Amino acid sequence: MDFPKKSVTIVFDHSAVSLKDVVVLISSIGYEPLISLEKNDEQIKKDEFKNKDLTLKIGIAGFCLGNIMLLSFPEYLSKGAEIDPQLKTIFNYLNILLSLPVFFYSASDYFISAWKAVKKNYISIDFPISLGLIALFVRSLYEIILFNNAGYIDSLAGLIFLLLLGKLFQSKTYQTLNFERDYKSYFPVSVTVLKNGIEKSIPVAKLETGERILIRNGEIIPADSILFSGTANIDYSFVTGESMPEQKVLGEIIYAGGRHFGSAIELEVIKTVSQSYLTQLWNNDAFKKTQISNIQNLTDKVSKYFTVIILAIAFGSGLFWLREDVNKAIDAFTTVLIIACPCAFALTTPFAFGYTLRIFGRNKFYLKKGSVIEDLSNINTVVFDKTGTITDSGNISVKFFGSKLSHTELCLVKTLVRNSSHPLSRKIFESISGEDCSDDLEVTNFDESISDGISGIVSGIPVKVGNIKYLLKDLDCSYYERGHEFIKNPFSTNVFISINNFIKGYYSFRNIYRAGIDKAVEDLSEDYDLAVITGDNNSERNNLLKIFGSGAKLLFNQKPQDKLNFVKEIQSDSAKVLMIGDGLNDAGALKQSEVGISVSENITNFLPSCDAIIDAGEISKIGKFIRFSKTTMNIIRASFVISFIYNIIGLYLAAQGTFSPLVAAVLMPFNSISIIIIIFLMTNFFAKRRGLI
Amino acid sequence: MSAIIILISVSLTVAVIFLIAFIWSVRSGQYEDKYTPSVRMLFDDNEIPEDLKNDKSVSKKIKKL
């Protein structure tokens, strides 16, 4: 059992118990297993290996560092007094022996990544680090073997240890979260196919066009198909953002991704799963983009210039001394490389990102990786999805407008709507389920007109529930006049009620906005362009205008592909986009945008692939998060300046000829550790000021 | 002087033993899940059915969990 991952491994005898029995048993105790084909065993093993590898490297580097320090201690304290040369030799060679695993195993990642980058004509921060490390190692060997001087082995081990610690700190991951999901994890694993009247389960991927499939209550339509028998109530809220379920009749095309409610329906598949309307989105270029962005990050940009300057100084001083003394030239050359090794510099980003990641995590804002912070700080446009993002999708408010209904009237409505499985009927039923009605109310002449309404005679009184046209069908105009005053809000979804051929009023269904969304928007609108893009109709335009003001773009009836295109369009207009969404319909836009954030009420639920996940309750803090990511980037810049100053001081000392192993041993770790401390203090300070801790 | 050399070789040997223990603990996955073992001790031991006890591959797998 693995508690943090919320997973359990079960061993069972497959010849005696079937997998299905195991699943049934586990479900019966309340832990329904999640069926997932996302990660195969090989990938999991690879991830595990990576984690283990880093831990091992740090452990070994730490072990060697400790012992090297111990053996170097006499040298530190020997100012003036001479150490027994024999002992010194032994200590020095032991040091070399201990440094071998550190240099060749623990630090190997830096050399490999620097070499890979150089091969691609690209200089990363690992390049000057590798140069510095190699210079330290070679110079130490040279000093020890030829002159029996103490080398810089202690500094070397210390630096590698610190660098690896930085890596570990940045590699904080959220094990229970998955940022790489696509439609496959939302779709069912198998589907029931009807062949010659026989039901058979086949994997969804093997579904072919022309096949008949059976979809039961609550199941998801896996592929675009035509309705063959039964009445379908399809909830597309996850796909399109439209919160009201759609009713479909025979012969209509049903797009994949909807969830069906009601009695089982038969469908004929017209497109395969991967070619369906919804899943086509994943064939878009946005999903083929490799993870490495074209935008160089700050560290790489700075390190490019840095490397060039260092190499210039190193070669310059080397050439300068070459005229006098070859030994001195080598000395100067390696000293510059060692002193200028941008270790403090390389530690800045991992520690700053790692710490910010933790602060965000404490506020239930989970980033996929540290570099998202940098992307987030560059944002200038924020795009919201409506349903599920700024509104609470599971929570629709049902309100009655018009003359107040009496208890008996409510009972009439309740009895009538109980007979319908239409989602709106069920919502009305839920809202008045508290009414205590007698069971002997009977409905006669029940009639359901699809997508219009229902009518019936309840204990002698005609009752109608439906849209205004349906209600007016058999009424004369005088009633229409009376009913007219209720039609105040033509945009929101309204269901009218008439009792005894008199229109009493209507039930209005509206989305409930998430708490704090108005504050978040107000906060954001000062510095960012805002837009709302939704698959829903424009019934909420007025409410959205109230929240977002006139400056924001509001787009309605947008298909998933439209959303992606919209993001692309404003990106070409130099917008850096933060997309906040929740459903499959946002998946394309989330991927296309610089930063995509998924909103979730329950982080273990399905979420489209994204860069970050935010808990629905914390969405009001989104402005704070963006601003704090900017602060983090400023802290990094400030730390860069500080580490440059250290390097200049070091170069100055080296030029004075006062660069001894002792100075190196003190100065270099001091650099790195002081930078780390500065970052922690600054980040902590600003997080407190912004109220994130 | 020789005392120092002996001491150092002894201390290094001890340190290397600990290093090996560390490498073993990482390899066997003890650093992957630091929370579960503290809970697992509260459960009853895995009971292996009699007829499977003799099957070495099964008992090995169960022990691994």
* pLDDT in the model for residue A399: 79
- Identify all chain B residues contacting A11, using CB atoms and an 8 Å cutoff: 58, 61-62, 65
CA dihedral A295→A301→A304→A307, nearest 10 degrees, is -150
* pLDDT in the model for residue A292: 45
Nearest to B32 among A51, A56, A63 (CB): A51
Same domain, A363 and A342: no
- Smallest CA–CA distance from B9 into chain A, residue: A94
How close, in Å, is residue A49 to chain B by CA atoms? Answer: 9
* pLDDT in the model for residue A171: 74
Report how far apart, in Å, the C-alpha atoms of A241 and of each of A112, A492, A575, A618, B13 are: 46, 15, 24, 21, 66
DSSP label of A411: H
Which of A287, A317, A341 corresponds to the end of one domain? A287
In this structure, are residues A602 and A593 in contact, taking their beta carbons and an 8 Å threshold? no
Report how far apart, in Å, the C-alpha atoms of A76 and of each of A63, A70, A147 are: 20, 10, 18
**Mean pLDDT (whole number) for A253-272:** 83
Task: Pinpoint the alpha helices (H) of A404-516.
Answer: 407-417, 423-431, 468-472, 477-484
3-state secondary structure of A181: coil
**Mean pLDDT (whole number) for A644-665:** 73
**Mean pLDDT (whole number) for A246-272:** 82
Is B7 an 8 Å CB contact of chain A?
no
Q: Which of A202-206, A225-229, A658-662 has the lowest mean pLDDT?
A: A658-662
Is B8 an 8 Å CB contact of chain A?
yes
Reported as a pLDDT band with limits 50, 70 and 90, residue A270 is confident
Q: Mutation test of the interface with chain A: which of B10, B13, B19, B28, choosing the one with the most A Cβ atoms within 10 A?
A: B19
Strands A198-203 and A232-235: unpaired
**Mean pLDDT (whole number) for A412-420:** 82
Q: Which two tokens stand for residue A204?
A: 């969804």
CATH number for position A486: 3.40.1110.10
Same domain, A269 and A200: yes
Statement: residue A226 has pLDDT above 80: yes
* pLDDT in the model for residue A77: 75
**Beta-carbon pairs below 8 A across chains A and B:** 57
Q: Which two tokens stand for residue A264?
A: 């089982």
Does B5 sit within 8 Å of A51, measured CB to CB?
A: no
**Mean pLDDT (whole number) for A608-628:** 86
How close, in Å, is residue A3 to chain B by CA atoms? Answer: 5
ipTM: 0.77
Per the domain annotation, does A519 fall within a domain? yes
Does B65 sit within 8 Å of A4, measured CB to CB?
A: no
Statement: residue A71 has pLDDT above 70: yes
pLDDT tens per residue, range A466-502: 877 777 776 654 444 444 444 444 445 678 888 887 7
Same domain, A267 and A196: yes
Which of A287, A311, A343 corresponds to the end of one domain? A287
Q: Which two tokens stand for residue A211?
A: 């096949």
Domain span at A433:
394-512
Is B37 an 8 Å CB contact of chain A?
no
Q: Which two tokens stand for residue A495?
A: 């269901």
Beta bridge partners of A195: A198
Same domain, A137 and A282: no
**Mean pLDDT (whole number) for A636-648:** 87
Does A4 sit within 8 Å of B35, measured CB to CB?
A: yes
Does B8 sit within 8 Å of A59, measured CB to CB?
A: no
Q: Side chain identity at A558, as an amino acid letter?
A: Q
**Mean pLDDT (whole number) for A640-656:** 81
Statement: residue B20 has pLDDT above 90: yes
Q: Mutation test of the interface with chain B: which of A67, A68, A105, A175, choosing the one with the most B Cβ atoms within 10 A?
A: A67
Q: Which two tokens stand for residue A464?
A: 């109608």
Q: Which of A143-147, A212-216, A349-353, A656-660 has the lowest mean pLDDT?
A: A656-660
Q: Mutation test of the interface with chain A: which of B5, B11, B12, choosing the one with the most A Cβ atoms within 10 A?
A: B12
**Predicted structure pTM score:** 0.76
Same domain, A365 and A340: no
| Three-state DSSP string of A90-132 | HHHHHHHHHHHHHHHHHCHHHHHHHHHHHHCCCCCCHHHHHHH
Radius of gyration of chain B (CA): 20
Q: Which two tokens stand for residue A149?
A: 């001087």
- Smallest CA–CA distance from B24 into chain A, residue: A56
Report how many domains make up chain B: 1
Q: Which two tokens stand for residue B38?
A: 């503290």
* A3 vs A356: which has the higher pLDDT: A356
In terms of average pLDDT, the best of A257-261, A332-336, B20-24, B37-41 is B20-24
- Identify all chain B residues contacting A84, using CB atoms and an 8 Å cutoff: 1
pLDDT tens per residue, range A442-453: 788 888 776 678
* A580 vs A503: which has the higher pLDDT: A580
Report how far apart, in Å, the C-alpha atoms of B48 and of each of A18, B28, B52 are: 19, 23, 7
Per the domain annotation, does A38 fall within a domain? no
DSSP label of A18: -
Is B4 an 8 Å CB contact of chain A?
yes
Q: Which two tokens stand for residue A548?
A: 């977002």
Report how many domains make up chain A: 5
Same domain, A118 and A142: yes
How close, in Å, is residue A676 to chain B by CA atoms? Answer: 25
Q: Which residues contact A396 (CB under 8 A, 6 or more apart)?
A: A243, A427, A509, A510, A511, A512
Identify the CA nearest to A190 among candidates A209, A210, A215.
A215
CA A587/CA A287 separation, integer angstroms = 9
**Mean pLDDT (whole number) for A108-127:** 86
Is B35 an 8 Å CB contact of chain A?
yes
Q: Which of A15-29, A34-48, A269-283, A561-575 has the lowest mean pLDDT?
A: A34-48
> A457: part of which helix (H) or strand (E)?
strand A453-458
Same domain, A57 and A163: yes
Same domain, A493 and A522: no
Statement: residue A99 has pLDDT above 90: yes
How much of chain A, in percent, has pLDDT values that exceed 90? 10
Same domain, A207 and A261: yes
Statement: residue A278 has pLDDT above 80: no
pLDDT tens per residue, range A169-211: 877 666 566 676 666 667 777 788 888 778 888 887 778 888 8
Statement: residue A138 has pLDDT above 70: yes
Q: Which of A124-128, A226-230, A292-296, A384-388 has the lowest mean pLDDT?
A: A292-296
pLDDT tens per residue, range A28-48: 887 777 766 555 566 666 777
Q: Which two tokens stand for residue A214?
A: 């059976």
- Identify all chain B residues contacting A5, using CB atoms and an 8 Å cutoff: 33
Same domain, A647 and A518: no
Does B65 sit within 8 Å of A2, measured CB to CB?
A: no
Query: Which pairs with CB-CB distance under 8 Å and at least 24 residues apart come from A628-632?
Result: A628/A356, A628/A359, A628/A360, A628/A686, A628/A687, A628/A690, A628/A692, A629/A356, A629/A373, A629/A374, A629/A376, A629/A377, A630/A377, A631/A683, A631/A686, A631/A690, A632/A352, A632/A353, A632/A356, A632/A373, A632/A377, A632/A683
Reported as a pLDDT band with limits 50, 70 and 90, residue B63 is low
* pLDDT in the model for residue A490: 43
Reported as a pLDDT band with limits 50, 70 and 90, residue A631 is very high
Per the domain annotation, does A261 fall within a domain? yes
* pLDDT in the model for residue B18: 94
Same domain, A26 and A112: no
> A532: part of which helix (H) or strand (E)?
strand A529-533
* pLDDT in the model for residue A553: 85
Nearest to B36 among A2, A52, A60 (CB): A2
Is B41 an 8 Å CB contact of chain A?
no
3-state secondary structure of A533: strand
Per the domain annotation, does A1 fall within a domain? yes
Is A93 an 8 Å CB contact of chain B?
no
Same domain, A55 and A158: yes
* pLDDT in the model for residue A299: 77
* pLDDT in the model for residue A672: 84
Statement: residue B24 has pLDDT above 50: yes
Q: Which residues contact A689 (CB under 8 A, 6 or more apart)?
A: none
How close, in Å, is residue B64 to chain A by CA atoms? Answer: 11
pLDDT tens per residue, range A300-359: 778 888 888 888 888 888 888 888 788 778 777 887 888 777 777 788 888 888 899 889
Statement: residue A118 has pLDDT above 80: yes
CATH number for position A222: 2.70.150.10
Domain span at B17:
2-64
